[in-house]
């Protein structure tokens, strides 16, 4: 039913390669000819090869990105980077979003069965348990922004992430080195076995290295009923901490969303940041730089994680071999919320 | 190769319906039996029907969500709501993300051809032009968060959006009514033909209704080189406006991201909000409530737009008839950035 590129060429009285040049924005074509060809394409049923190539659903050239709940604030940025890189490789891709109650391994197995995928990128998720079932995933996959201790042997798999424990230790180290001895933390819930746990461990390690004790009174856990790293939860936790009248001169929140809520609570109670309480977050969300005061944070190399995840996936598709998981370094963004600093805000 | 539910039943020595009850968390089953069945399932190659049903890729029961560039800050929330509602209808769905240079109509046509979709939800996009090509989309579709003047006749289509012009007029009305006569606007780029244009028109209409003149000096346009509604652009525009020394006692930004950047620029220059400049945004992002001071904004009913978009799509799939496009009301959130107000922040 649809027209082919040959039909278009014939209709326009030009060669197929000329049509192709018009469609691909090639500079080497007469502008009038190009215009005429594009008009013909516009009026026809023909879907240009250009988009056909990008999107063609030959199931054998398809990559799925599986997202478990979109509470990863980097989601949009990572999508954008991955989309570009995957398309450049002439693979099609789509995003599969899962609900809280859906199992990522089941979802992956189902997609592989129905779609004959070439590869999968998991955006977050828990790959430390369920090893047996994970081993059933027979296509190469990369876990992005989370790590696992040991690669399942039967899998072709890898991960790209930051070292959450080490980077968390670094930012708490920084707080210690700037003179703080009473550092509170807004942590994850007590049952957390993933990044929340690692970031709390980093906090404990840093205090220990500086000869400080981790006072349980200064560790605020997320409620197990609602474990989202949200501004609202950060706000509530800080309000609660302030009521306890536990002494602290600095607070570290394990996520930037939580730190923004915590700042609101502090400012509302008349605390000055950082004169009364220094504040640091984790993740590197843009918002932290625009907050008043700008908030110190440990920034994840989000774009680089996305780029390398795709790169490693393509490598594994080619070699059919697992790759060692990879930690990328995070960057400490030192800002007014810990330095005081002048009012002249400089973008970093 | 995979096991069927019958194989599982046989292996466990129970009936198929018992296996089904175990898999579906039905209360009416002996806990021991359930445990045994789930263990067998776990150890087998069987993908439970439960997830199979949710995800089954019978191409005839599939919905695609097409997202053109993820600069819509509501993306995550909308996905979450849509995902739940689509799954409840036993449809499978996936998200197709497009780059800036990809054409949404081409993408849609390609997907329909390859996937035999039942319906499409476009998250944003421009459906005011390209009518002829849009008419080629033969499956029902809904445009979410953007409207079009007239439904293409050959399509089964609808939209769910706010009335950007009217809601923008309302919030500028509000600024006028609270005594402001010199109101600046951070607008879209001059060539914008979509929501940015509508929101600017709303601003002009409100001023006119209050007998005020729209001074071109107070209208700041986005640079045509970078038309994203970002914090950074809001920051830059406000810096520029402050340099011009044009008088203004209030500023309205057509997006919340822009307004956050603008606040940063104002505070940096030592301006007090709202004593020196009252500030209002548009969209209702959570961040505005946590900013210091909390920012007044016109909040879009994002979840309701998502819910109704899916509802209308299913209606159209059933009836095979277009539905009238629908505007949902936005809500003015009046906060410290225009009221001053007390420091006791109350969540709304």
Question: Residue B194 domain-assigned?
Answer: yes
Angstrom distances, CA of residue A313 to CA of A322, B61, B194: 9, 30, 38
Residues A255 and A321 in one domain: no
Residue A286 within any structural domain of the chain: yes
Residues A169, A273, single domain; the answer is yes
Does B2 sit within 8 Å of A231, measured CB to CB?
no
Strand order in the sheet with A326-327: A326-327, A157-161, A141-144, A119-123, A62-68, A92-98, B92-98, B62-68, B119-123, B141-144, B157-161, B326-327
pLDDT at A80: 84
A2 lies in some domain: yes
Which helix (H) or strand (E) is A122 found in, with range? strand A119-123
Q: In this predicted structure, which of A277-286, B19-28, B129-138, B152-161 has the lowest mean pLDDT?
A: B19-28
Helix (H, G, I), strand (E, B) or coil at B101: coil
Residue B124, min C-alpha distance to chain A (Å) = 15
* Better pLDDT: B280 or A48: B280
Interface confidence, given as ipTM, is 0.77
Residues of A in contact with B96 (CB under 8 A): 94-95
Beta partners for residue B94, in sequence order: B64
Q: What is the DSSP letter of A216?
A: G
Say if residue B158 is in the same domain as residue B68. Answer: yes
CATH of the domain at A294: 3.40.50.2300
Let me know: does A162 contact A229? Beta carbons within 8 Å: no
Which residue is closest to A133 within chain B, CA to CA?
B42
Are A337 and A280 in contact by the 8 Å Cβ rule? The answer is yes
B227: exposed, middle or buried (C-beta count within 10 Å: 0-12, 13-18, 19+)? middle
Whole-model pTM: value is 0.79
Sign of CA dihedral A230, A231, A237, A238: positive
Domains: count for chain A: 3
DSSP state of B183: E
Instruction: Answer yes or no: is B262 within a domain.
Output: yes
Same domain, yes or no: A205 and A263: yes
Tell me the two tokens of residue B342. Answer: 């007390």
Contact in structure between A298 and A331 (CB atoms under 8 Å): yes
Instruction: Convert the pLDDT of each residue in B150-193 to its tens digit.
Output: 767 889 999 999 999 999 999 999 999 999 999 999 999 999 88
Q: CA-nearest residue of chain B to A75?
A: B76
Q: What is the pLDDT of residues B222-249, one digit of tens each?
A: 999 888 899 999 999 999 999 998 999 9
- Is A265 inside a domain boundary? yes
CB contact under 8 A, B76 and A80: no
Same domain flag for B67 and B180: no
CA-nearest residue to A231 within chain B is B290
Domain-located, residue A256: yes
A211 CA to chain B: closest CA distance, Å? 35
Nearest to A260 among B51, B290, B345 (CB): B290
What is the distance between the terminal CA atoms of chain A, rounded to a whole angstrom? 54
Q: Tell me the nearest-neighbour CA distance from A47 into chain B, angstroms.
A: 6
CA–CA gap between residue A336 and residue A344 (Å, rounded): 10
Closest CA in chain B for residue A135? B45
pLDDT tens digits, B202-222: 999 999 999 999 999 999 999
- Across the interface, do B47 and A87 touch by the CB < 8 Å criterion? no
Q: Tell which residue, A137, A56, A161, has the closest CA to residue A316.
A: A137
Indicate which CATH number applies to the domain containing A12.
1.10.260.40
Which residues in chain B have Cβ-Cβ distances shorter than 8 Å to A306? none
Q: How many CB atoms lie under 10 A from the CB of residue B303?
A: 14
Q: What is the pLDDT of residue A344?
A: 39
Q: In this predicted model, what pLDDT tens digit does every residue of B281-307 receive, in sequence order?
A: 999 999 999 999 999 999 999 999 999
Asked if the structure places residue A285 within a domain, the reply is yes
- List the structure tokens of A278: 């220094």
Q: Clarify whether residues B123 and B189 are in a common domain.
A: no
Chain A closest-CA separation from residue B87 CA (Å)? 9
Residue B251: the pLDDT is: 98
Q: Which of A64, A134, A270, A292 to mutate to test the interface with B (most CBs of B within 10 A)?
A: A292
Side-chain half-sphere exposure of A105, counting CA atoms within 13 A = 19
Predicted pLDDT at A9: 83
* Nearest CA distance, A167 vs chain B (angstrom): 26
Residue B260 phi/psi, 5-degree rounding, is -65, -40
Angle (CA) B216 B219 B225, round 5°: 115
Phi–psi pair at B344, nearest 5 degrees: -70, 100
User: In this structure, are B172 and B213 located in the same domain?
Assistant: yes
**Which residues in chain B have Cβ-Cβ distances shorter than 8 Å to A70?**
75-76, 79-80
**Nearest CA among A201, A205, A281 for reference residue A238:** A281
Dihedral in degrees, nearest 10, Cα atoms A192, A195, A199, A204: 50
B116: left (phi over 0), alpha (psi -120 to 50) or beta: left
Sign of the dihedral through C-alpha A79, A313, A105, A61: positive
* DSSP label at residue B211: T
pLDDT interval class at B56 (50, 70, 90): very low
Instruction: Give the separation between CA A195 and CA A247, rounded to whole angstroms.
Output: 27
Q: Chain A: give the shortest CA distance to residue B119, in Å.
A: 16
Q: Are A295 and A169 contained in the same domain?
A: yes
The reply to whether residue B106 touches residue A47, judged by beta carbons under 8 angstroms, is: yes
Same domain flag for B265 and B198:
yes
Whether residue A6 sits in one domain with residue A127: no
Chain A's closest residue to B101, CA to CA, is A51
Q: Please name the residues in contact with A304: beta carbons below 8 A apart, sequence gap of 6 or more.
A: A328
* pLDDT averaged over 10-residue windows placed end to end, chain A, 348 residues: 71 81 72 80 60 42 83 78 87 83 84 84 80 87 86 86 97 96 97 92 98 95 91 97 95 97 96 96 95 96 96 95 94 95 44
Average predicted confidence (pLDDT) for chain B: 86
In whole angstroms, what is the distance from residue B99 CA to residue A118 CA? 21
A:B CB pairs within 8 Å: 145
Identify from A50, A53, A55 which residue to disrupt to test chain B contact, counting B C-beta atoms within 10 A and taking the largest count. Answer: A55
Question: Long-range contact list for A236-245, CB < 8 A, 24+ apart?
Answer: A236/A261, A236/A265, A237/A186, A237/A261, A237/A262, A238/A186, A238/A262, A238/A265, A238/A266, A239/A265, A239/A269, A241/A184, A241/A186, A242/A266, A242/A269, A242/A271, A244/A217
- Regarding whether A218 and A203 lie in a shared domain, the answer is yes
Same structural domain, A131 and A216: no
Kindly tell me if the per-residue pLDDT of B345 is higher than 80. Answer: no
Arithmetic mean of pLDDT, B3-10: 78
Q: Is residue B142 part of a domain?
A: yes
Distance CA B241, CA B238 (A): 5
- A123 has which bridge partners? A67, A144
CA atoms of A294 and A297, how far apart (whole Å): 9
Chain centre to alpha carbon of residue B148: 16
| Residue A22, domain extent | 1-46
Question: Could you identify the residue written with the tokens 């709202």?
Answer: B274
- pLDDT above 80: residue B261: yes
């Amino acid at each position: 039913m649809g027209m082919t590129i040959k039909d278009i060429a014939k209709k326009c009285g030009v060669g197929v390669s000329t049509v192709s040049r018009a469609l691909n924005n090639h500079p080497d074509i007469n502008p009038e000819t190009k215009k005429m060809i594009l008009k013909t394409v516009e009026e026809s049923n023909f879907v240009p090869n250009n988009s056909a190539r990008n999107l063609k659903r030959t199931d054998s050239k398809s990559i799925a990105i599986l997202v478990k709940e979109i509470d990863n604030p980097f989601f949009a940025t990572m999508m954008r980077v991955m989309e570009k890189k995957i398309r450049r490789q002439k693979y099609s891709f789509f995003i599969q979003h899962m609900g809280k109650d859906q199992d990522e391994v089941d979802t992956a197995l189902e997609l592989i069965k129905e779609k004959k995928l070439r590869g999968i990128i998991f955006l977050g998720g828990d790959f430390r348990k369920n090893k047996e079932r994970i081993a059933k995933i027979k296509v190469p996959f990369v876990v992005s922004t989370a790590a696992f201790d040991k690669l399942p042997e039967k899998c072709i798999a890898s991960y790209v992430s930051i070292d959450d424990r080490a980077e968390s230790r670094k930012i708490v180290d920084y707080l210690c080195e700037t003179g703080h001895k009473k550092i509170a933390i807004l942590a994850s819930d007590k049952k957390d076995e993933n990044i929340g746990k690692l970031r709390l461990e980093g906090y404990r390690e840093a205090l220990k290295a500086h000869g400080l004790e981790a006072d349980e009174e200064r560790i605020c856990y997320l409620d197990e009923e609602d474990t989202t790293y949200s501004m609202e939860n950060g706000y509530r936790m800080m309000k609660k901490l302030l009521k306890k009248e536990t002494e602290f001169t600095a607070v570290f929140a394990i996520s930037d969303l939580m730190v923004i809520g915590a700042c609101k609570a502090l400012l509302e109670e008349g605390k000055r940041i950082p004169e009364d309480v220094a504040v640091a977050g984790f993740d590197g969300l843009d918002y932290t730089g625009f907050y008043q005061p700008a908030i110190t944070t440990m920034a994840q190399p989000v774009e680089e994680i996305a780029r390398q995840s795709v790169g490693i996936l393509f490598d594994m598709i080619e070699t059919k071999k697992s790759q060692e998981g990879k930690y990328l370094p995070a960057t400490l963004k030192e800002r007014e919320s810990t330095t005081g600093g002048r009012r002249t805000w400089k973008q970093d």
